[in-house]
Amino acid sequence: MGISNAAVNSFISLTTDFGTDDIYVAAMKGIILGINPQVTIIDICHSIEPQNVGQAAFLINSAHKYFPVGTIHVIVVDPGVGSKRRALLVNSPTCFFLAPDNGILTPIIYGTNPSLQHTKSKWAQLPNGFQAFALTNPQFWHHPVSTTFHGRDIFAPVAAHLSLGEKAESFGEQVRKVRTHSIPISHTRINGEQIGQIIHIDHFGNLITNLTKNNLKGDTLHLRIAGRQIDKLSQCYADGEGLIALIGSSEHLELSIPYGSAARTLGVGIGDTVILRCT
């Protein structure tokens, strides 16, 4: 059972691939504030690569943990807008998500369950604690509804009405299955080496991998990337020189060059391989 949605909720967050050079984000905010003038809107990120569902999935999964219980998270990375893809409201045990049904909520709903995530985009049953509703009731939309901008015409007004205490059932029929998105997971080789990937590069050029503390076993780590080797886990950016490895703030294994850019120096990008051996 998801969080009760009959109470008034104060916060709406926005995550999109709209950038900040257009008026798209502002149009969503205008629609929201016209319906609920009291709500506080927080921008999480509008720099998702256009149509990059996987990147959005990683970022919203990292970010939502730091928001108050009851926050309504609107995520619009939506290459299928205007087609038959469904628009969803998903109630988690702690908050609400409004997003196209394209797998963007996979890590939030299913965590890092490899059996699911190995499989390319398909449908999956919702686990306990989650409820999903298809947004089919036009009563809560902004009209006329464009075929290219459901962020403004469907997700924003539904978020605003939800923040006013409207029940989830009002927005459309409950659904049992949602689409999943395949997310890169680490593999373990027969010799015990773990093969990970870079899944995000931050503003400082730090390389965030899909390896976490859980992958670190034993006393010593040996990490290979782009022909370089690291044999020590640093505690913070000020601890070490040149290329270092540490557990970053998202609790993922991260490679960094303090006062520099690991991404630029190593010439690597998202999807590139990291090999971890623990001894």
Please give the DSSP secondary-structure letter assigned to residue 155.
I
Binding to a copy of itself, residues 95-134 (CB under 8 A): none
Please give the DSSP secondary-structure letter assigned to residue 238.
T
139 Cβ contact list (under 8 Å, min separation 6):
170
Per CB under 8 A, 258 contacts a copy of itself: yes
Asked whether the beta carbons of 78 and 45 are under 8 A apart, the reply is no
Q: Distance between CA 228 and CA 231 in Å, rounded?
A: 10
CB 65 to a copy of itself: min, Å: 8
Asked whether the beta carbons of 35 and 160 are under 8 A apart, the reply is yes
Please name the residue ranges forming H helices in the chain: 24-35, 53-63, 106-110, 114-117, 150, 156-163, 262-266
Residue 153 in 3-state DSSP? helix
Per CB under 8 A, 1 contacts a copy of itself: no
Identity of the residue, 102 or 117, whose beta carbon is nearer to a copy of itself in the bound complex:
102
Per CB under 8 A, 277 contacts a copy of itself: no
Identity of the residue, 184 or 258, whose beta carbon is nearer to a copy of itself in the bound complex:
258
Q: What six digits make up the tokens of 133?
A: 């509703």
* Pair type for strands 72-76 and 96-100: parallel
Per CB under 8 A, 82 contacts a copy of itself: yes
Identity of the residue, 2 or 248, whose beta carbon is nearer to a copy of itself in the bound complex:
248
Per CB under 8 A, 143 contacts a copy of itself: no
Per CB under 8 A, 174 contacts a copy of itself: no
Q: Distance between CA 101 and CA 172 in Å, rounded?
A: 14
113 Cβ contact list (under 8 Å, min separation 6):
none
Angle, CA 238 vertex, CA 184 and CA 258 arms, to 5°: 55
Per CB under 8 A, 216 contacts a copy of itself: no
Side chain identity, residue 46: H
CB 208 to a copy of itself: min, Å: 9
Per CB under 8 A, 76 contacts a copy of itself: no
Per CB under 8 A, 8 contacts a copy of itself: no
Identity of the residue, 116 or 262, whose beta carbon is nearer to a copy of itself in the bound complex:
262
Among 26, 111, 264, 271, binds a copy of itself (CB under 8 A): 26
Identity of the residue, 64 or 131, whose beta carbon is nearer to a copy of itself in the bound complex:
64
CB 204 to a copy of itself: min, Å: 5
Provide the binding-site residues for a copy of itself, judged by CB under 8 A. Answer: 10-11, 13, 17-24, 26-27, 29-31, 33-34, 37, 40, 42-47, 50-51, 59, 62-63, 66-68, 71, 79-83, 85, 146-149, 152-153, 202-204, 235-239, 246-249, 251, 254, 258-259
